[in-house]
Structure 1
């Protein structure tokens, strides 16, 4: 690094801090260890301004997401990206909270995934052909991300409608609410009975396995509640246990 810096200082180009910093940068996604070291040294001493490396990387991520959208659907996705960037500039000028690069990246990733879904799975190559059933089928591919994805798609199709790309917003009428009950995988009833017999009668079962298994099977204890469980939460006198943010102690059955 010192050798390279020496060559930069001795060549015919200007060698003030900002120029040296710019010429020390490597092309590509990483500007190199020398440029990073010089940036930290110069900026902390007020000798140079920070580089635009973060902006370059963000622009590259946005372009990769846009390029992954099927070609007939790509122009609208690119226009949506430009719209979000201009909205961020207006928010910065107005002093309101602007979109971050991560927010824009996530939005473009959702549009990319929808574009590939309707092109590959549904055979539709025009945003105007997307209907509410198509959006619902796309959201069903990742149920846990339904709310986040639907928020992005509402923004995208609202933008597309203002540009006359679609006549009807296919996200209207869709709800972002998640099912209130447990939606994860469950164990069949016969397997539950076999596990309960193991945890209450088998001498081979480790006490830790028995405790965690019975708490989960009988009392519906979540992994978060187990991780936060302490000895002070167990009341031997009343045979009860405090679990997470539950308002009342949970009475323990004999097996527990």
Structure 2
């Protein structure tokens, strides 16, 4: 390939030239096309921007209306991803009030629900599908009433539990009718995962109450079951040596990804949740006071030097992506829009260190609650006072007791 051609392929004016040629070939070019080209050139490479402008040109010359909402809907690809052009158009149009956001999130959620329902054995499937529709209708009623509706994740988790029960009944108990299910079947199913007993029992109670109201079953087999077990914290936490290793990893290793460092430091030292970190925006940071507003906490959180250094690394990474996304944690999928990183992405950010965010956060909360007043911890974290009580330990830390005794001798 000649050097002149290679140079032109990387030339920053190439997207604008292609857009001008497209505008010249249109009888009535839309007013937003030139501004959209500028937006693409600022966020994408030259080649990618030109490819997207070419795809947009096919939409603008297909004989359909070229109103922003119509163009956005036609740009969407079928399947689980609506495509980079549709995402770029959605971000551009919605930020300027030219079109409404698509229902892509709702479509993806509907697909996830459908996959869970289809995994249920055939004889048991119609009841699970009716239960799914019932939860969706209940959510719509909650929205209209102004109460707290179920999230997509809650509905999908409930369907997954009912699906697992249906598979258990058919494969382990030889039952293909919900009416044959009894309390012994549910006890055997719950015994397979003792740690998930409470959550599973809540969902099973909801499902069988629904089934009884529809005459699918005559007796609710989950009615007499209780969520036995300790009410306090029973999870796994990190040792002090493990915490020190993580701290050194995130403060001394430049090869660690900035997002891992950001999430790790805020969880380890400040007990931040994954949701608080992924929703953190640049406007939530006070660069003079070096504080950050995390989630629903009533006051800004003062950040120590290592934590602030982690924030600066993520901001530098965000700056390199040349994005208008307001969030501190910006990924390749979200740099062209304004939404936060996906839950799936954040849940795997700490995979390289070997410890999940929840375990690290529980370690911090357990330490704070057992060394301070739980009510103060709840007030500082924006939690209900009852939520911190489960972290109260019923044992004595012998090392701290020895230090106390030595100090008072």
Indicate whether the TM-score tops 0.5: yes
Aligned partner of 2:40 in structure 1 is: none
Residue equivalent to 1:94: 145
Q: 2 CA distance for matches of 1:226 and 1:82?
A: 40
Question: For this pair of structures, how many residues does the alignment match?
Answer: 208
User: Which ranges of structure 2 fall in alignment gaps of 5 or more residues?
Assistant: 1-51, 243-358, 372-390, 404-409
Q: CA RMSD in A?
A: 2.9
Give the Å deviation of 1:2: 1.1
Counterpart residue number, 1:118? 169
User: Does the CA contact (< 8 Å) of 2:76 and 2:82 recur in 1?
Assistant: yes
CA distance, structure 2, for counterparts of residue 226 and residue 17 of structure 1: 48
Q: Does 1:38 align with 2:89?
A: yes
Partners of 1:94 and 1:13 lie apart in 2 by: 39
Counterpart CA distance in 1 for 2:95 and 2:392 is 45
Is the radius of gyration larger for structure 1 or structure 2? Answer: 1
Are 2:205 and 1:154 aligned? yes
- TM norm structure 1: 0.73
Structure 1 gap segments, 5+ residues each:
186-207, 210-221, 234-243
Where in structure 1 do 4 or more consecutive aligned residues deviate above 3 Å?
179-185, 222-230, 244-250
Shift of the alpha carbon at 1:177? 3.0
Does residue 74 (structure 1) correspond to residue 125 (structure 2)? The answer is yes
Residue 251 of structure 1, aligned match among 401, 405, 409:
401
| Counterparts of residues 107-256 of structure 1 (less than 5 Å) | 107-179=158-230, 225=363, 250-252=400-402
Deviation at 1:6, TM superposition (A): 1.6
Instruction: Give me the whole-angstrom Cα distance separating, in 1, the residues matched to 2:146 and 2:233.
Output: 42
SS in 2 for 1:251: helix
Task: Work out which of the residue numbers 26, 46, 50 in structure 1 matches 2:77.
Answer: 26
TM-score normalised by L of structure 2: 0.47
Structure 1 distance, partners of 2:147, 2:213, is: 23
Cα distance in 1 for partners of 2:158, 2:71 equals 37
